Amino acid sequence: MTEFQFNVSATDGLARRGTIRMPRGEIRTPAFMPVGTAATVKAMYLDQVRDLGSDIILGNTYHLMLRPGAERVARLGGLHEFARWPYPILTDSGGFQVMSLASLRKMSEEGVTFRSHVDGSVHELTPERSIEIQGLLDSDIQMQLDECIRLPAERPEVERAMELSLRWAERCAIAFGNQPGKAMFGIVQGGDVVDLRVRSAERLRAMELKGYAVGGLAVGEPQEVMLRILEETVPVMPVEKPRYLMGVGTPDDLLQSIARGIDMFDCVMPTRAGRHGLAFTRHGRINLRNARHAEDATPLDEHSDCPASRDYARAYLHHLVRTEETLGAMLLTWNNLAYYQTLMAGARQAIETERFGDFVAETTEGWAKGEEARGAFRR
Amino acid sequence: MTEFQFNVSATDGLARRGTIRMPRGEIRTPAFMPVGTAATVKAMYLDQVRDLGSDIILGNTYHLMLRPGAERVARLGGLHEFARWPYPILTDSGGFQVMSLASLRKMSEEGVTFRSHVDGSVHELTPERSIEIQGLLDSDIQMQLDECIRLPAERPEVERAMELSLRWAERCAIAFGNQPGKAMFGIVQGGDVVDLRVRSAERLRAMELKGYAVGGLAVGEPQEVMLRILEETVPVMPVEKPRYLMGVGTPDDLLQSIARGIDMFDCVMPTRAGRHGLAFTRHGRINLRNARHAEDATPLDEHSDCPASRDYARAYLHHLVRTEETLGAMLLTWNNLAYYQTLMAGARQAIETERFGDFVAETTEGWAKGEEARGAFRR
Q: Do A311 and B38 touch (CB under 8 A)?
A: no
Annotated binding-site members of B for substrate: 92-96, 146, 189, 216
The answer to whether the CB atoms of B315 and A76 lie below 8 A apart is yes
Interface contact flag, A316 B84, Cβ < 8 Å: yes
Say what the pLDDT of residue B12 is: 98
Q: What is the pLDDT of residue B219?
A: 87
Percent of chain B clearing pLDDT 90 (strictly above): 92
Nearest Cα of chain B lies from the Cα of A82 at a distance, in angstroms, of 6
Q: Shortest Cα distance from A216 to chain B (angstroms)?
A: 27
Q: Closest-CA residue in chain A for B330?
A: A43
Among candidates A68, A76, A326 on the partner chain, residue whose Cβ is nearest the Cβ of B297: A76
- What phi and psi values does residue A368 have, to the nearest 5 degrees? -70, -40
Interface A–B counts its CB contacts (< 8 A) at 94
Best residue of A101, A323, A332 to probe chain B, by most B CBs closer than 10 Å: A323
Q: What is the pLDDT of residue A264?
A: 98
User: Across the interface, do A43 and B295 touch by the CB < 8 Å criterion?
Assistant: no
Tell me, yes or no, if B77 comes closer than 8 A to chain A by beta carbon. Answer: yes
* Whether B54 and B104 share a structural domain: yes
Do B295 and A42 count as a contact with CB atoms less than 8 A apart? no
The CATH number of the domain where A260 resides is what? 3.20.20.105
Q: What is the mean pLDDT of chain A?
A: 95
Residues A287 and A139 in one domain: no
Inspect the interface and report whether the beta carbons of A44 and B322 lie closer than 8 Å. no
Q: Which of A12, A92, A192, A253 is catalytic?
A: A92
pLDDT, position B359:
98
Question: What whole-number distance in Å separates Cα of residue A21 and Cα of residue A27?
Answer: 6
Subunit contact A82:B320, Cβ cutoff 8 A: no
> What is the chain A residue with the closest CA to B37?
A325
Asked if B297 and A77 come within 8 Å (Cβ–Cβ), the reply is: yes
Chain center to CA of A147: 18
Please tell me whether the peptide bond between A270 and the residue prior to it is cis, using omega within 30 degrees of 0: no
- A40, A82, A313: residue with CB nearest B327: A40
Exposed e or buried b for every residue in B67-93, given b needs 16+ CB within 10 A? ebebebbbebebbbebbbbebbbbbbb
Kindly report, residue by residue over A135-173, the tens digit of the pLDDT. Answer: 999 999 999 999 988 888 999 999 999 999 999 999 999
Judged against a pLDDT cut of 50, whether residue B377 lies above it is answered with no
Q: Residue A1's pLDDT is what?
A: 60
pLDDT category of residue A270 using cuts at 50, 70 and 90: very high
Best B57, B60, B319 residue to mutate vs chain A (most A CBs within 10 Å): B319
Neighbours of A75 (CB within 10 A): 15
How distant is the Cα of A297 from the closest Cα of chain B, in angstroms?
A: 7
Report chain A residues whose CB lies below 8 A from the CB of B318.
68
What residues of A are designated binding site for substrate? 92-96, 146, 189, 216
- A67, A83, A123, B338 from B315: Cα distances, Å: 12, 10, 23, 20
Q: With contact defined as beta carbons under 8 Å apart, do A34 and A271 qualify?
A: yes
Q: List pLDDT tens digits, range B253-272.
A: 999 999 999 999 999 999 99
- Closest chain B C-alpha to A315 CA, distance in angstroms: 8
Residue A308's Cβ-count burial label (10 Å; 0-12, 13-18, 19+) is buried
pLDDT in tens, B203-252: 999 999 999 999 999 888 999 999 999 999 999 999 999 999 999 999 99
Same domain, B167 and B316: no
A44: chain B residues, CB-CB within 8 Å: 327
What are the backbone dihedrals phi and psi of residue A228, each rounded to the nearest 5 degrees, phi first? -65, -45
Mutate to test the interface with A, among B37, B42, B45, B57 (most CBs of A within 10 A): B45
- A84 contacts in chain B (CB < 8 Å): 311-312, 316
- What mean pLDDT is reported for chain B? 95
Residue of A nearest to B295 (CA): A76
Per the structure, how many domains does chain A have?
A: 2
Q: Which residues of B touch A294 (CB under 8 A)?
A: 68, 72
Let me know if residue A105 belongs to a domain: yes
Domain boundary (B267, B298, B330) is at B267
Indicate whether B326 belongs to any domain: yes
Cα gap B94→B60, rounded to integer Å: 7
Give the per-residue pLDDT at A373: 46
Rg (chain A; Cα; Å): 21
Residue B140 carries which side chain, given as an amino acid letter? D
Statement to judge: residues A247 and A281 lie in one domain:
no
CA B19 from chain centre, in angstroms, equals 17
> Is the residue at B5 inside a domain?
no
* Same domain? B240 vs B280: no
Per-residue confidence (pLDDT) for residue A371, from 0 to 100: 63
What is the distance of C-alpha A237 from the center of its chain?
19
**Chain centroid, CA A363 distance in Å:** 21
Q: Say yes or no: B101 contacts chain A, CB-CB below 8 A.
A: no
Q: What is the ipTM of this complex?
A: 0.97
- CA distance linking residue A108 with residue A122, whole number of Å: 15
For residue A179, give how far its alpha carbon lies from the nearest alpha carbon of chain B (Å). 27
Nearest to B76 among A43, A83, A313 (CB): A313
B322 → chain A, closest CA residue: A67
B40 and A325 within 8 Å at the Cβ level: the answer is: yes
CA-CA distance, B189 to B197, in Å (whole number)?
Answer: 6
* A105 and A250, same domain (yes or no): yes
Mean pLDDT computed over A272-283: 98
Q: What integer is the mean pLDDT of A249-274?
A: 98
Does residue A316 belong to the interface with chain B, where contact is any CB pair within 8 Å? yes
Tens of pLDDT along A346-368?
999 999 999 999 999 999 999 99
pLDDT, greater one: A2 or B68: B68
Range of the domain at B288: 276-369
Q: Is the peptide bond before A156 cis (omega within 30 degrees of 0)?
A: no
Among candidate residues B12, B55, B92, B253, the one labeled active-site is: B92
Q: Are B260 and B234 in contact (CB under 8 A)?
A: yes
pLDDT, tens digit, for every residue of B24-34? 999 999 999 99
Q: Does residue B178 sit at the A interface (CB-CB below 8 Å)?
A: no
Q: How far is B328 from chain A (nearest CA, A)?
A: 9
Clarify whether residues A204 and A321 are in a common domain.
no
What's the average model confidence in pLDDT over A116-129? 95
Instruction: Among A326, A331, A333, pick the best mutation site for testing chain B contact (most B Cβ within 10 A).
Output: A326
d(CA B100, CA B114): 11
Choose the final residue of a domain: A267, A297, A325: A267
Active site residue B266: yes
Q: Same domain for A137 and A251?
A: yes
Judge whether A148 and A95 are in contact, CB under 8 Å.
yes
The Cα B165–Cα B186 span in angstroms is 9
pLDDT class of B104 with cuts at 50, 70, 90 = confident
What distance in Å separates residue A289's CA from the closest CA in chain B?
13
Among A238, A267, A296, give the residue marking a domain's end. Answer: A267
For residues A144 and A122, what is the distance between their CA atoms, to the nearest angstrom?
21
Q: Is A317's Cβ below 8 Å from some Cβ in B? A: no
Residue A136 · residue A74 · CB < 8 Å: yes
* Closest by Cα among B126, B143, B116, B181 to B59: B143
Nearest CA of chain B to the CA of A330: how many Å? Answer: 8
Is there a single domain that holds both residue B102 and residue B222?
yes
Please pick, among B138, B192, B263, B266, the residue that the annotation labels catalytic.
B266
Give percent of chain A with pLDDT exceeding 70. Answer: 97
Indicate whether A183 and A283 sit together in one domain. Answer: no
> Does B182 score more than 80 pLDDT?
yes
B317 lies within 8 A of chain A by CB: no
* CB contact B166 to A (< 8 Å): no
Evaluate if residue A376 carries a pLDDT over 50. Answer: no
Kindly state whether residues B216 and B135 are assigned to the same domain: yes
Is B47 one of the catalytic residues? Answer: no
Q: How many CB atoms lie within 10 A of CB B222?
A: 8
Chain A partners of B82 at a C-beta cutoff of 8 Å?
Answer: 313, 315-316, 319
Of A42, A82, A315, Cβ closest to residue B325: A42
Whether residue A84 is contained in a domain is answered as yes
- Helix (H, G, I), strand (E, B), or coil: what is residue B100? helix
A93 vs A215: CA distance, rounded Å = 12
Is residue A174 within 8 angstroms of chain B, CB to CB? Answer: no
CB A24 within 8 A of CB A85: no
Radius of gyration of chain B (CA): 21
B43 chain-A contacts, CB cut-off 8 A: 326-327, 330
Q: What are phi and psi of A165, to 5 degrees?
A: -60, -35
Which of A124, A174, A232 is CA-nearest to residue A186? A174
Q: Which of B38, B294, B330 sits opposite A72 (nearest CB)?
A: B294
* Nearest C-alpha neighbor of B93 from the set B50, B131, B48: B131
Query: What pLDDT does residue B1 have?
Result: 60
Q: Cα–Cα distance between A344 and A360 in angstroms, integer?
A: 11
Are the C-beta atoms of A91 and A140 separated by less than 8 Å? no
Q: Grade residue A114 by pLDDT with cuts at 50, 70 and 90.
A: very high
Same domain? For A247 and A357 the reply is: no
